[in-house]
Amino acid sequence: MSDYRIEHDSMGQVPVPADRYWGAQTQRSRRNFKIGGETMPSEIVHAFGILKRAAAIANQKLGRLDDVRYQAICAAADEVAAGKLDDHFPLVVWQTGSGTQTNMNANEVIAHRGNDIIGRPLLHPNDHVNMSQSSNDTFPSAMHIAAALTLTNRLLPALEELCATLRRLEEENADVVKSGRTHLQDAVPITLGQEISGWRSSLEEDREMLKKALPGLYALALGGTAVGTGLNAPKGFAQEAAKAVAELTGLPFLTAPNKFHSLTSRSELVFSHGALKALAGDLMKIANDVRWLASGPRCGLGEISIPANEPGSSIMPGKVNPTQCEAVTMAAVQVMGNDAAIGFAASQGNFELNVFLPVIAYNFLQSAGLLADCMASFDKNCLTGLTANREKCLENLHRSLMLVTALNPYIGYERAAQTAQLAHREGLSLRDACVRLGFLTPEEFDRVFHPEEMVK
């Protein structure tokens, strides 16, 4: 048996691997775009399965598609959506900027798989699977479906789990008073619980921003076809297709009110990724705080301990590093770079179509997936095991010269500054410096100086 079969398209015949469902146009793309190793994200492929089934539902309801072909398309599309045919989607990101070749990859795979299900060649990739559609409205729709599903099913649950861990840590450490820090310098006291509450609140704000971005992603370009006019799509197709996507996903997708916008503008994805960048920025800050607070174990701050997951050095025995924090910060850097790429690519919507779609999809989904994974890992392998080093917190607290701020109401700002400067210069306690300067008696100092009460 030959390893290849002959397929054809409008440009002629092409040999295609015999054990693959793709056809001539997919094979041409494989041949013509040997660029990089980044294949089209599986989330886009699965979204195409949802989209193609929804289109078939709309076409059948509107009398354009007979029952036999309809059922075969739906069965094959379901397999695509479930990831069962991922091996039949080989194309790279670096292809046509409209994503036409990935749309045709989906059309060809569903047509050939559907014909296998029927047992005879009734389905044509363009005439039936792509009926009432264009690559120009399907790929933007697949991007929105993939983005909304990834945020809803992967990223937001991981974010909520992380917030839950921080809420627990916040409560457990509400009574741990420690030195605050601003400008990387000692500041007035704070509890560890209060510090953690800042982390938790930041992530909850990011969660709300992501939720606010979702409605824009629910708007689908389906029905706009080639340039937004809806040419070759029957009346009502856009609404029926969006309704079907909503029913298949459980998310409130709807048809975009202006298809000229939805084909050429990627502003909704830019806005959504902005929220991802905000989340990346806060995760960067939290991971940095954790590794600074855990620094040491003897020559750093050492106010918290985090799990020792693996050896940290190939030469220094016993060294353990904050590796989970490092992974989070690297992922955050990648997301920030992706944001720049997405913003620039989205600005290239010339006339009726943006032709930077695959790179936008790739970067967006990479960002969402990276953040979801690193939050889950950070939570499980680091934050869940975070504990306060109470004695070190207390030691650092009482060594801090900024506790002198508590004396401002009693001796004034300038005298308090003199007290701190003398204590620092001569290695004195604040109490000894204040008494030596004659600003307070020992008894007066003890009566008004209570660092633990400064956090209230």
HEC assignment per residue over 117-161: HHCCCCCCHHHHHCCCCCHHHHHHHHHHHHHHHHHHHHHHHHHHH
Residue with tokens 């469902």: 21
Where in the chain are all domains bearing CATH 1.10.275.10?
A: 19-131
As annotated, the active-site residues are 183, 313
Where in the chain are all domains bearing CATH 1.10.40.30?
A: 400-455
pLDDT of residue 370: 98
Rg of the chain in Å (alpha carbons): 30
Identify the CA nearest to 386 among candidates 311, 325, 448, 300. 325
d(CA 137, CA 220): 8
Residue stretches of the chain with pLDDT short of 70 = 1
Instruction: State the pTM of this model.
Output: 0.96
- From the centroid of its chain, how far is CA 235? 37
CATH number attached to the domain at 19-131: 1.10.275.10
pLDDT of residue 1: 43
Candidate CATH numbers 2.60.120.10, 1.10.40.30, 3.40.190.10, 1.10.1200.10; the one for domain 400-455: 1.10.40.30
User: Is 394 within 8 Å of 386 (Cβ atoms)?
Assistant: no
d(CA 31, CA 90): 11
Identify the CA nearest to 106 among candidates 4, 30, 22, 40. 22
| Residue 425 CB neighbour total at 10 angstroms | 9
Fold of 145-178+192-217+258-391: Fumarase C; Chain A, domain 2 (1.20.200)
**Average pLDDT of every residue of the chain:** 97
pLDDT of residue 456: 86
Question: Residue 185's beta-bridge partner residues?
Answer: 182
